[in-house]
Amino acid sequence: MSQSSQFISTRGEAPQAGFADVLLAGLAPDGGLYMPAAWPQFSASQIAAFAGQRYQDVAFAVLSRFVGDSFTAAELKEDIEAAYAGFTNPQIAPLSAMTGNRYLLELFHGPTFAFKDIALQILGRLFSRALTRRGGGATIVAATSGDTGSAAIAALGGLPNIEVFVLHPKGRVSEVQRRQMTTSGHANVHNIALEGSFDDAQSIVKGLFAEKQFASEVGLTAVNSINFVRIAAQSVYYFTATAALGKPATFIVPTGNFGDIFAGEAAERMGLATVRLVIATNANDIMARALNEGVYEAGAAYHTISPSMDIQVASNFERALFEASGRDAGWTRAAMERFARDKRLVLPPLILSELRSRYDARSSDDEDTLSTINAIAGTSGRVIDPHTAVAVNALRKFGFREEPMVVLSTAHPAKFADAVINATGAPPPMPEELRHVLDLPEQLEILPNNLALIRQFISSRLTG
Ligand SMILES: *Cc1c(COP(=O)(O)O)cnc(C)c1O
């Protein structure tokens, strides 16, 4: 069995697992995150040959290196084809030129209009296949800052033997985002509006996993970006974009949980040449402070107009720390335990310099974001969403360089109509699929930020 289809935990105390187990489990049993035992390798000529290939074929080339004997090539192909059949743009993740050497990598052409669909549409299909084979059911709990919830519901709603619980921070997602989650009408979908922040929702999910007996009774699993399969699926567009440009690029990535930008590091570790990976954050700038000041420290969570990035604790940063430490699981475990206790971690100089050899970081406040949306609309007539705008502004702060500069455009502006109206005075164009959620009845439960009550609610829905 190849080392890239065996997975180890960043905390070093979980047995090696195969792809299907990693897919179904999400989090490793020692509390760490799964990583391939070794990264598969692509040569420069293999990567150059991705140019002009269908997105689906590149996705197959990358993902097939991770699946081992969990799925046959035919199964993986079938699920990749089906996953992207519902995208409205045949290129799936098209590059569109801004001015000069600047590009937007459009990742929002899936069913819920944000980049989360690109991974979750595949993950849902593979998940259902693996579950059928293993037998039994699964209870999926997902904490969402806004877009993962609807993408998970679009991927898993209506599937047999799966119950989906989505926790979003009450009042802190946009109206369209909330309605996309609460109007699915699927009996296996349960929405919880949590009286708390996204970080509270994420720590409730972690708390549910820590209750080992409950977790195993209900077959608890996570499809958050801690699930390695999402990272693998997201690494694909770094390859397709670079191959299309024909030379190494700098990628500017709107960052919350550090999943999307870590997918860029994953692509690099598989052999992709890039220039820099630029972390773009909003006022929730823990990642920018970590990189620029060397201290990873949770601050207060701000409610911003780019809500999908209103995150303080960036779960996937653990993966980057694991790699930057030379895959030292003992150090990573101790560091994450220290961070959990103190909410603060001083990054050792060697780790910091390793991170800085790959990443830069810039943050923007809401005012910057609004003026960026307005400026881009004024100069190009193109309306961008606030998350994309945070990245465009980070690009401006980072400075324009010689190499292609690629901004990951993570959501359709119609999901964030209020911000766009604030910025430009006019509403964004509204696709029909989003307009109709405004008329459908909503189903959601408002619950306090209390682990025991959430557990009881899940149990009662499962038995009722
Ligand atoms: C989830 C999300 C992000 C942040 O991605 P991470 O993988 O959490 O860093 C950025 N923009 C949008 C629109 C999102 O939905």
Residue 306 CA to ligand 1 center (angstroms) comes to: 9
pLDDT, one tens digit per residue, over 159-205 is 989 999 999 999 999 999 999 999 999 999 999 999 999 889 989 99
Residue located nearest, by CA, to atom 1 of ligand 1: 308
- Site to probe by mutation for ligand 1, drawn from 105, 113, 115 as the one with most ligand atoms within 8 Å of Cβ, is 115
Q: How many CB atoms lie within 10 A of CB 247?
A: 12
Identity at 414, one-letter amino acid code: A
pLDDT, one tens digit per residue, over 46-105 is 999 999 999 999 999 999 999 999 999 999 999 999 999 999 999 999 999 998 999 999
Residue 259 CA to ligand 1 center (angstroms) comes to: 8
114 Cβ below 6 A of ligand 1: yes
- Site to probe by mutation for ligand 1, drawn from 319, 387, 407 as the one with most ligand atoms within 8 Å of Cβ, is 387
- Map residue 139 onto helix, strand or coil: strand
Q: Chain-centre distance of CA 43, in angstroms?
A: 26
DSSP string, 267-326: HHHTT---S-EEEEE-S--HHHHHHHHSEEE--PPP--SSGGG--SS-TTHHHHHHHHTT
pLDDT, one tens digit per residue, over 305-324 is 999 998 888 999 999 999 99
**Where in the sequence numbering do the catalytic residues fall?**
116
Q: Residue 268: name the closest of 400, 391, 357 by CA.
A: 357
The residue assigned the tokens 């070794």 is 38
The C-alpha atoms of residue 6 and residue 443 are separated, in whole angstroms, by 40
Joined tokens for residue 13: 């105390």
- In this predicted structure, the answer to whether residue 393 has a pLDDT above a threshold of 90 is yes
Q: Residue 151: name the closest of 192, 123, 174, 129 by CA.
A: 123
Q: Residue 83: name the closest of 167, 155, 184, 179 by CA.
A: 155
Residue 263 CA: nearest ligand 1 atom is 7
* pTM (two decimals): 0.96
Q: Residue 127: name the closest of 229, 24, 226 by CA.
A: 24
The C-alpha atoms of residue 364 and residue 229 are separated, in whole angstroms, by 30
The C-alpha atoms of residue 369 and residue 416 are separated, in whole angstroms, by 12
Residue 217 CA to ligand 1 center (angstroms) comes to: 31
